[in-house]
Amino acid sequence: MTENTPELPAVSGPLTGQEPEVAQAPRQNRFVADLLRGSVVTTVPAIVLSMVIGGILIAATDPEVQRTAGYFFAQPLDMLVAIWNSVSGAYAALFRGAIFNYDAPNFIRAIKPITDTLNFATPLIAAGLGVGLAFRVGLFNIGGRGQMLMGAAAAGFVAFNIEAPMFIHLPLTVIAGILGGLIWGGIVGVLKARTGAHEVILTIMLNFIAYYFVSWLLSTPGMLMRPGGNQPISPATPPSAQFPKLFDAPLSVNWGFIVAIGATVFVWWLVERSSLGFRMRAVGENPFAARAAGVKVERVIIYAMAFAGALAGLAGVNQMAGTITSGFANHIDAGIGFDAITVALLGRSRAWGVFAAGILFGALKAGSFTMQISQGIPVDIVLVVQALIVLFIAAPPLVRAIFFLPKDQIEKAHIASRKASKKAAKKAVSA
């Protein structure tokens, strides 16, 4: 080239006339994206299939079914009737305990189960929104437990050490809990963004730190320990720091459910309508492409984990200000931090999908107690059903195969790619 000839820009790929290859998204991002591509078409059959398998387990563990199975070939109808009575009785009890008790003496008692469902669903919705928000950014937030514990602890400090009217005391308690979870989730975001540490390891370790830290607070006089006691338990939540009941007793739902609705609206707006949400979704799809487009990926990661922690902290507030008001211990999270993962998966990490999934899981939990009391069915059966739902949600091709549903475009592309690879291999061998 002459001295005046401008230099050509460097080309990342071969000069074949094709576009240079774009860097693919990390494997975990692609996995999360595949989970989120599902729809109601696979979600509803997954729930139905889980309930069917749950019914099989209920029938298999029923003593009457086992007894009639001994002479099945002599009188098969007896076993079929026993199976029907066992399964129908179990799911009828589930309905009475979760939705509407048609055996109740009055209307108020009849609708009490739905309020119990909403009460159980409230922390699941809040924590599930936190997990789902992280999923949308390609992050696995396994730290819901620790974020809930820190949220409950921060809310407890404010609730137990401030005396004020409810319109001041309760908002301060809620804000403190949100900030506690936000800080705990933000730590993960900062470490992930600045050091590249994996968020799964970070969140699991911070769960342990939060657990033992809160245990220390509850065992130390002058911190969260109940004055005059020697047990690791907090004082009772002051009435001015509790969520008021939406209805009179015996209906149990409180204003925490309204706050959960507000959180759902906020997350929907944040992810689907705001500019920050657009950047979050871009990072979740492909952080390399997002960075090339000018998105500050590290900042988005910090924001996402902070918001996720704040939502989990809100779930912790609901526990100490709405559900466990007589004083909480180090197990106040009640496994909700991990259940939130299943709620987020079932809801496809969409705000209103998570809301619906939280209500479904709240209904299963509320109804399981009635199943156990009236039918003698272990609560663990419901846990198995929940696990099966998530299993089938994570394997949509299996659900489509069982229900003979058409394959989606991604599955068709994978099948076509495998066929092309096999043909190419055969040609190479024959040549």
| Residue 373 domain-assigned (yes or no) | no
Number of domains observed in the structure of the chain: 1
Q: Please count the other Cβ atoms lying within 10 Å of the Cβ belonging to residue 85.
A: 15
Whole-model pTM?
A: 0.84
Q: If pLDDT is split at 50, 70 and 90, which confidence band does 414 have?
A: low
Q: Please indicate, yes or no, if residue 80 is contained in any of the structural domains.
A: no
pLDDT band at 32 (very low <50, low <70, confident <90, very high): low
Domain coverage including residue 226: 102-272+300-360
Answer yes or no: is 61 within a domain: no
Answer yes or no: is 410 within a domain: no
Tokens coding 249: 């007793």
Q: With CA atoms as reference, report the closest residue to 214 among 189, 234, 229, 200.
A: 234
Per residue, what are the HEC states of the chain?
Answer: CCCCCCCCCCCCCCCCCCCCCCCCCCHHHHHHHHHHCCCHHHHHHHHHHHHHHHHHHHHHCCHHHHHHHCCCCCCHHHHHHHHHHHHHHHHHHHHHHHCCCCCCCCHHHHHHHHHHHHHHHHHHHHHHHHHHHHHHCCCCCCCHHHHHHHHHHHHHHHHHHCCCCHHHHHHHHHHHHHHHHHHHHHHHHHHHHHHCCCHHHHHHHHHHHHHHHHHHHHHCCCCCCCCCCCCCCCCCCCHHHCCCECCCCCCCCECHHHHHHHHHHHHHHHHHCCHHHHHHHHHHHCHHHHHHCCCCHHHHHHHHHHHHHHHHHHHHHHHHHHHCCCCCCCCCCCCHHHHHHHHHHHCCCCHHHHHHHHHHHHHHHHHHHHHHHHHCCCCHHHHHHHHHHHHHHCCHHHHHHHCCCCCCHHHHHHHHHHHHHHHHHHHHHHC
What the block records as the tokens of 87 is 């399964």
Q: Is the pLDDT of residue 249 over 80?
A: yes
For residue 179, what pLDDT band results from cuts at 50, 70 and 90? very high
Q: What is the pLDDT of residue 423?
A: 77
Domain assignment of residue 338, yes or no: yes
pLDDT band for 222, please (50, 70, 90 cuts).
Answer: confident
342 within some domain:
yes
Is 15 among the domain residues?
A: no
Strand partners, 245: 254
Q: Kindly indicate the confidence band of residue 37, based on its pLDDT and cuts at 50, 70 and 90.
A: low
Q: Name the region of 150 (left: φ>0; alpha: ψ -120 to 50; beta: rest).
A: alpha
395 phi and psi angles, rounded to 5 deg: -130, 65
Predicted confidence (pLDDT) at residue 412 exceeds the cutoff of 80: no
Mean pLDDT, rounded, of the chain: 86
Cα(358)–Cα(119) distance, integer angstroms: 10
Q: Is residue 390 part of a domain?
A: no
Residue 382 — very low, low, confident or very high, per pLDDT cuts 50/70/90? confident
